[in-house]
Structures are given as structure tokens and as C-alpha cells.
Amino acid sequence: MPKSLRSIVKLARTHSLGLWTAAGLTSAMGIVNLLSAIYPSLPDRRGLLEAFFPFYLRSGSRIFAALAGFMLLTLAANLLRRKRLAWGLTIGFLMISIVSHLIKGLDFEECILAMVLLVQLVAMRSSFTAQSDRPSIAQGIRILLLSLLFTLAYGTVGFYVLDGHFKINDQPTNFGWIQAILQTLAMFLTEDNAGLQPTGRYAEHFANSIYVIGAGTLGYAFLMLLRPVLLKANPALAQERHRARQIIDAHGQTSLARLALLPDKAYYFSPTGQSVIAYVPKGHAAIALGDPIGPEADREETILSFWEFCRRNDWFPVFYEVLPQQLPLYQRLGLQSLQIGEEAIVHLPTFSLSGKANQNLRTAVNRLTKTGHRFAIYEPPIADSLLQQLKVVSDEWLRHKNGSEKRFSIAWFDVEHLRPCYIGTVYSRNGEIIAFVNLLSGYHASEVTVDLMRHRAEVENGTMEFLFVSLIQHFQQLGYQGFSFSLSPLAGVGQSQQSRQLEKGLNYFFEHLNQFYNFKGLHQFKDKFRPDWKPRYLIYPSRRLLPEIAVGLVRVDSGDRLLDYFKPGT
């Protein structure tokens, strides 16, 4: 492992203990705030404050202490992930806590704990470098559950501690833990609070504060739920996208480089500014599409600096669909590899429909030709009128598959993406487009790659075979060298004696879980054209991270619509 990479790992371990301590103390401070907001102040301290602060101000400070406690609990996990915004907010809520504890009852003990944590966080400010995560529905749901539990805990502990300060239907209360929980629920579910009657000013304040705490925490939770809808900014700024395009145009090698320009990608630029990595952050993983793009001499430094960039943001690097010739570099840097499939590439100079092996292809072409079907190919830029016809086919295909658009390593139906592509189409005998494919030209003009391939719900058997044979022959006549069907996931994985156990496990999915995703059927269709199968790899730091990486890949591919990813036939 190179010295620079060892220093990255060592630095991460050094920061870990301090982060765990800070996150643990922040959680503890949140709980202390909750309990302190409920328990009555000591009489002698309260007497000193009564001369300076009226009751409504002292009671209001309890609500602020409780709300600050809730926010500290929500921020603790983000401190562990070194989020810069979480650090700043925690500093702010600790200051609110200190002021609240002083006003409500001169609670010096709570203030000292808050100040100790405040000093620690200020001393560790250089550790909090991670950017905030993009808002997600899952994040909002977690905060919603926490807000419900916090409000329930606030009410339950309060009723248990203040037993004797209330009556229910003119009878003295006897709150055990179960009765306290039920009474808290009754505050929100019954019109008369189940007959609850405060017997003093402090008890009345507490009963009213339950509604304030509930409104505050639930309001914040619903705001977090709405954030993914309200904030839909692109991952990359316009100037970053322009800069990435310049590098990709100069150094791109494969069709993946064109997919790196899709708007779901963010960009990391190497310290020299000559290389770029297109990635999507999901959870703790920054998943890059393909190898770094740039000069070969800059690649090692780009990978190392990207690793450090990920560390600062509480991510780890993952590279998806890496070429085999780059494996020695990743292995030298201490990263691990896993074959994830094979890319099917037809060698155009030797492609032919002759021979027994190609009988099915010849039959499909002859049948479709006799029934009046017609092939047509369109060169870029594609006209709006054609794009409108293709949209009809695409929408019908999605409805028929009961799925949704995929992302990341494949494009989706987007006018601006399709306009500069080659489009191959099949027309029915009635002159309607019934199937289409868009093709990405490699930065080496000798190869084209299949991107989207879609057809109407009801088409003749062999329609797609007719379309692809026609496309292959067209680019063969133009002198192209290769026609890529893109990645066939899990194809060829774990089939040799030298395969590792993990790859053999992936082969089980390929063979037996076809009902969830048609991996095998897709591979068999591509194999009809007798392609060369080229292995593609996943690069990752540690095997223990593979479950999280798998979830991240599904999320980037499905656009976070996890259920859509596993619908049969999609």
C-alpha cells in the first residue's frame, strides 16, 4: 500500500475516537436536555431567578431546552459522519441549551456538560469537513420516527415525574410508566385529554408544552420529508459540467465517457485539473462510473486524491465497470476487485449471417422483411418530430414492463441526450415506428454502443433481432470495428475453477433469481450475435462494505426507486 494511501487510512482511524466521543456526548446532552426540561428546578435557585425572570420566560426556556435536546439527538449521527453543517448547528443548539438551563433554574451542572462538549467541538473543528448529504425521503422518515418517539418520551417522563400535580375527573392521579404513556397519547387523541386537570401553574405549563414540543418536532420532521421535493438541484454546477465535458472530449475512451455527462453525475477533478471522475454519492459510497478520465500519467494521483476527497466527506470510493487493463493499478493502491459481468462486443469486420449458428437471425430478418417491416437509421441531430414518435414507443414500453427509467450506467429517455445520437428504428407495415435503439459512438470512432432499446407492447417475434442485425450491417458497411451491446450484468461471473467464492455466489443469482431481473435472458439475447465477451469489474476498498455497495448500486440504477428495480422483466 503506498505511503500516501496508508496516511489516509491512519488519519481516518485517528479521528474516529474523537468523533465517537463527540457524537456520544451530543446524544447524552440531548437526553439531559429532555430530562432537565421536565424536572422542577431546585427551590433555592428558583427563588433567585424569580426576582429577574417572570414565570412565562422561565417556563418557555424549558421548551427551548427540550427542542434543543431533540435537535442534538438528530445531529449526533451526522457529527459521527463529520458533516460540517451538523457541527455548526450543534454549536448553535449547545449555546441555546446553556442559556435555557440558566434561565429556567440556574442548572449549572447541565451548563458545564454543554460547555465541555462545546469546547471539544470547537477544538475538533478541522475534523468536520464533510458536505451535507442530498435530502432523501429515507432521511425524513427517520427524523419523523425520532420526533414521535421524542414527544412520547417527553410526555411520559413528565407525567411520571409530576405525578400528584394532576387530577383526572377530579380524582388524584397515580401515574406509573404505562399510565404515563397512555396519558401522553390521550393528549393528542382525545378532545378532553382523558379528563386531565392540572392542579397548579407548573403542571398546566407542562401539559401545554407537550403540544408545543410535538408541533416543533413534527414540523421539523415534515420539513425534512418535503426537502427532496423542494430541492431538486443538479449534482453538478454548469461550469463543472462544462469543464468535465472538455476533459472527456479530450481523453474519453469508451461510451461510458458519454454517460458520464448525464445530469445525475457529480464531478471530482484531480489536483492537476487534467482528469475527472464522474460519480454519484449514495449512503457512504461515492460510486464512480468507469475509470478516471484523463491522461494515463495522472491516473494514480487522481485515484489517491479522490480517496482523500471521499474520506473528508465520510464516503468511500467505488469504481463501477472498470476495464481489466486497469486492475494492476487499483490492486497496487490497495483496492479490491470483483467481476460484475461482461460487455458483449461484436467484431464487425468478421460478422456474418451465414452458417448454421446464425439460422435464427436469418429467419427473423427474412420474416420481418416479407411482412413489410422496414429498418431506418437516423444520424444526429435528431429532429423533434422523430423524438416525439420515439417518446410514444418509450412510454408504452415502460407501461408494459411496469417499471421506470434506469439511471447511472444507462441513459433514460431525455430529448437532449438522444438528439446527438444515432437512432435505429423499425417501422411496421403500416408505417409506424414499433421499436428503436439509440447508439453512443465511442470517442474512438471505430465502435458504437447500444444505449436504450425499446419496443411497443405488441410486436412480431424477432423484431429486435431484425433491428440489431440491420444496425450491425449498417455500421459494418461504414467501416466500424466494433458494435457493443454494453454490460451484461453477472454474465461470465464465477464460472471458472479460479473464481473466488464471492463470484461463485454471484453466479447463483445469475442462474436462479431470473424472476427479479432478467439477467440471464438479456445475456442469451446478446449471445445470439456471437459477440466477444469482455470482463468488467467493480473496484472497492473492503469486502465488509459490499452489502452497502450493493444497496448503493441499486439506488443509483433505480434513482432510489428500489421496488421498481426488482419488478419482473424490467
**What is the per-residue DSSP string for 443-480?**
SSTTEEEEEEEEE-SS--TTHHHHHHHHHHHHHHHTT-
Give the number of domains in the chain.
3
Q: Same domain for 91 and 119?
A: yes
CATH number of the domain encompassing residue 306: 3.40.630
Are both 311 and 250 inside the same structural domain? yes
Q: Say what the pLDDT of residue 491 is.
A: 60
Q: How many Å apart are CA 370 and CA 364, to the nearest integer? A: 10
Q: What is the DSSP letter of 160?
A: H
What's the CA angle centered on 328, arms 327 and 330, to 5 degrees?
Answer: 65
Q: Say what the pLDDT of residue 29 is.
A: 92
Q: What percent of the chain has pLDDT over 90?
A: 35
Q: What pLDDT is attached to residue 472?
A: 95
Assess whether pLDDT exceeds 80 at residue 416: yes
Decide if 445 is inside a domain.
yes
Q: How large is the average pLDDT for residues 441-454?
A: 82
User: CA angle 251-255-257, nearest 5°?
Assistant: 45
Which of 208, 230, 252 finishes a domain? Answer: 230
Question: Which has more confidence, 173 or 115?
Answer: 115
Mean pLDDT score across all residues of the chain: 83
User: With 70 as the cut, is the pLDDT of residue 9 above it?
Assistant: no
pLDDT tops 90 at residue 428 = yes
Query: Is there a contact between 472 and 483 (Cβ–Cβ < 8 Å)?
Result: yes
Residues spanned by the domain of 256: 238-334
What are the CA-CA distances from residue 95 to residues 62, 68, 119, 127, 384 (Å)? 14, 9, 11, 20, 58
Check whether residue 304 and residue 440 sit in a common domain.
no
pLDDT for the residue 349: 93
Q: Tell me the C-alpha to C-alpha distance, in Å, between residue 548 and each of 247, 338, 504, 544.
A: 31, 15, 19, 9
Residue 346 lies in a domain: yes
Residue 376, SS3 per DSSP? strand
Axis crossing angle, helix 201-230 with helix 177-189, rounded to the nearest 10: 60
Q: Is the Cα torsion angle 100, 101, 106, 108 positive or negative in sign? A: negative
Same domain for 380 and 470? yes
Q: Is the pLDDT of residue 1 over 50?
A: no
Instruction: Give the model's confidence band at 4: pLDDT under 50 very low, under 70 low, under 90 confident, else very high.
Output: low
pLDDT at residue 104, as a whole number: 80
**Mean pLDDT in residue range 167-171:** 83
Asked if residue 199 and residue 300 are part of one domain, the reply reads no
Task: Indicate the DSSP class of residue 40.
Answer: P
Across 524-547, average pLDDT? 89
The answer to whether the beta carbons of residues 84 and 56 sit under 8 Å apart is no
Tell me whether residue 178 is in a domain.
yes
Indicate whether 142 belongs to any domain: yes
Which residue, 293, 315, 334, sits at the end of a domain?
334
Round to whole Å and give the CA distance between 457 and 435: 10
Residues in the chain: 570
What cell numbers appear for 220 in the block? 421539523
Range name among 221-225, 296-300, 472-476 with the lowest pLDDT average = 221-225
Least confident of 28-42, 65-79, 365-379, 553-567: 553-567
Task: Kindly state whether residue 416 falls inside one of the protein's structural domains.
Answer: yes
Instruction: Clarify whether residues 223 and 262 are in a common domain.
Output: no
Q: Does residue 346 sit in the same domain as residue 330?
A: no
Q: Residue 569: is its pLDDT beyond 50? A: no
Bond preceding residue 2 cis, omega within 30 of 0: no
Whether 128 shows a pLDDT value over 50: the answer reads: yes
Q: For residue 566, is pLDDT > 70?
A: no
pLDDT at 167 over 90: no
Q: Which residue has the higher pLDDT, 141 or 425?
A: 425
Higher pLDDT, 89 or 495: 89
Write down the residue that cell numbers 474519453 correspond to: 252
Domain boundary, last residue among 334, 362, 379: 334
How far is it, in rounded angstroms, from Cα 336 to Cα 553?
17
pLDDT at 512 over 50: no
Q: Is 434 part of a structural domain of the chain?
A: yes
Percent residues over pLDDT 70 in the chain: 83
- In the prediction, which pLDDT does 493 show? 62
Question: Does residue 187 have a pLDDT over 90?
Answer: no
Is the confidence at residue 483, as pLDDT, over 50?
yes
Same domain, 188 and 211: yes
Q: What is the pLDDT of residue 510?
A: 45
* 335 secondary structure, DSSP code: -
Q: Are 404 and 398 in contact (CB under 8 A)?
A: yes
Reply yes or no on whether the pLDDT at 450 is more than 50.
Answer: yes
Q: What is residue 379's predicted lDDT score, i.e. its pLDDT?
A: 92
Question: 551: domain CATH number?
Answer: 3.40.630.30
Average pLDDT over residues 300-320: 89
| pLDDT category of residue 10 using cuts at 50, 70 and 90 | low
211 C-beta neighbours (distance < 10 Å), count = 13
Residues 277 and 322 reside in one and the same domain: yes
Weakest-pLDDT range from 139-148, 404-413, 426-435: 404-413
| pLDDT of 520 above 60 | yes
Decide if 570 is inside a domain.
no
Reported pTM:
0.69
Co-location of 258 and 170 in the same domain? no
Measure the CA–CA gap between 547 and 561, rounded to whole angstroms.
18
**pLDDT tens per residue, range 253-284:** 877 888 888 888 899 999 999 999 999 988 78
344-391 pLDDT tens trace:
999 999 999 988 888 889 999 999 999 999 999 999 999 999 999 999
- Residue 165 in grid coordinates: 400535580
What average pLDDT does range 274-298 have in this prediction?
91
Mean pLDDT of 460-473: 94
CB 304 within 8 A of CB 330: no
- Looking at the structure, tell me whether residues 292 and 388 fall in a common domain: no
Q: Which has more pLDDT, 143 or 569?
A: 143
The pLDDT of 56-68, averaged and rounded, is 80
Name which residue leads in pLDDT, 447 or 130. Answer: 447
Q: Are residues 321 and 441 in the same domain?
A: no
In a domain, 306, yes or no: yes
Query: Distance from CA of residue 491 to its chain's centroid?
Result: 25
pLDDT band at 231 (very low <50, low <70, confident <90, very high): low
At residue 305's C-alpha, the angle toward residues 79 and 550, to 5°, is: 65
* Lowest mean pLDDT across 65-79, 219-233, 272-286, 502-516: 502-516
Judge whether 83 and 130 are in contact, CB under 8 Å.
yes
